């Protein structure tokens, strides 16, 4: 009965590997190479993922490491510790990919030829934001009153602490916390209704 080639074996063969090369990596048959690859693949991708790589980046780096190992074996070079070779190569490949994907800060083109993006909100966004602000003020005034509205805006827009707000509205911290909770509850009801 003939073994059905695995995805790894097909990948290695498309890169010019012979059965002997593939078997030499794992020290055995094509099936042992595939099993070896599966075992190490998940462990190595897990190590790369733990270092902050996306799943696709990690998988690509591990596959590239295996292809580099195959290249070394094909050239007749001895790889005394294939596991260490694969781990270090996968890390290096992942680092190289990350470095290559970074945008460079310097662009040699004249400024007239650069496409500059205007990050300022457009007129529609400005009108929509002002409308949302007015609706929020109106809702808070109708449901919880001016003091709770003031507490809400000081907290979320001016980013003041509860103590700073309490001093500014001349109330206790507990009262400010209660006002903020009422304002948030009122705004949640608006979103639902």
172's CB contacts (< 8 A; 6+ apart) are 166
Question: 85 and 18, same structural domain?
Answer: yes
Q: What is the pTM of this model?
A: 0.40
Q: How many domains does the chain have?
A: 2
Asked if residue 21 lies in contact with residue 70, where contact means CB atoms within 8 angstroms, the answer is yes
Q: What is the pLDDT of residues 50-74, one digit of tens each?
A: 888 888 888 888 888 888 887 877 7
Question: 130 and 96, same structural domain?
Answer: no
Question: 131 and 91, same structural domain?
Answer: no
Question: 32 and 86, same structural domain?
Answer: yes
Which of residues 70, 101, 132 is at a domain's end?
101
11's CB contacts (< 8 A; 6+ apart) are 63, 67
Question: 91 and 14, same structural domain?
Answer: yes
Max CA-CA distance within the chain?
A: 87
Residues 104-118 have a mean pLDDT of 73
Q: pLDDT value at position 188?
A: 79
Asked if residue 1 belongs to a domain, the reply is no
Grouping H, G, I as helix, E, B as strand and the rest as coil, residue 46 is helix
Question: 170 and 90, same structural domain?
Answer: no
Question: 96 and 14, same structural domain?
Answer: yes
Asked if residue 176 belongs to a domain, the reply is yes
Asked if residue 114 belongs to a domain, the reply is no
Residues 13-39 have a mean pLDDT of 52
Q: What is the pLDDT of residues 140-175, one digit of tens each?
A: 888 888 888 889 889 988 889 999 999 999 999 999
48's CB contacts (< 8 A; 6+ apart) are 57, 58, 61, 62, 90, 91, 94
**CATH number of the CATH domain containing 186:** 1.10.10
Using CA atoms, how far residue 30 sits from 6, 10, 27, 85, 120, in Å, is 9, 11, 9, 20, 59
Question: 150 and 93, same structural domain?
Answer: no
Q: Which domain holds residue 155?
A: 123-192
Question: 127 and 97, same structural domain?
Answer: no
C-alpha–C-alpha distance, residues 78 and 163, integer Å: 68
Question: 170 and 95, same structural domain?
Answer: no
- Choose among 121, 27, 32: nearest CA to 82: 27
Asked if residue 112 belongs to a domain, the reply is no
Q: What angle do CA 119, 152, 157 make, to 5 degrees?
A: 25
Question: 11 and 96, same structural domain?
Answer: yes
Tell me the CB-side half-sphere exposure of residue 46, using CA atoms within 13 A: 6
Asked if residue 144 lies in contact with residue 182, where contact means CB atoms within 8 angstroms, the answer is yes
Strands of the chain (E only): list them: none
Question: 86 and 12, same structural domain?
Answer: yes
Q: pLDDT value at position 163?
A: 94
- Choose among 98, 33, 43: nearest CA to 70: 33
Asked if residue 116 belongs to a domain, the reply is no
Q: Of 83 and 12, which is predicted with more confidence?
A: 83
Asked if residue 88 belongs to a domain, the reply is yes
């Amino acid at each position: 009965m003939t073994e059905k080639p695995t995805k790894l074996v097909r990948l290695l063969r498309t890169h010019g590997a012979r059965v002997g090369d593939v078997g030499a990596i794992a020290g055995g048959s094509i099936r042992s190479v595939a099993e070896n690859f599966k075992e190490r693949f998940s462990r190595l991708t897990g190590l790369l993922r733990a270092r902050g790589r996306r799943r696709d980046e990690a998988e690509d780096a591990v596959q590239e490491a295996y292809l580099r190992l195959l290249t070394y074996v094909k050239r007749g070079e001895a790889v005394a510790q294939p596991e260490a070779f694969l781990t270090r190569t996968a890390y290096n490949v992942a680092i190289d990919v990350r470095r290559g994907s970074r945008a460079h800060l310097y662009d040699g083109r004249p400024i007239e030829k650069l496409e500059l993006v205007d990050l300022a909100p457009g007129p529609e966004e400005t009108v929509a934001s002002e409308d949302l602000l007015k609706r929020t003020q109106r809702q808070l005034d109708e449901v919880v009153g001016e003091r709770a509205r003031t507490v809400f805006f000081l907290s979320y827009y001016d980013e003041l602490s509860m103590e700073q707000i309490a001093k500014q509205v001349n109330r206790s911290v507990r009262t400010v916390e209660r006002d903020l909770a009422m304002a948030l509850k009122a705004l949640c009801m608006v979103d639902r209704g």
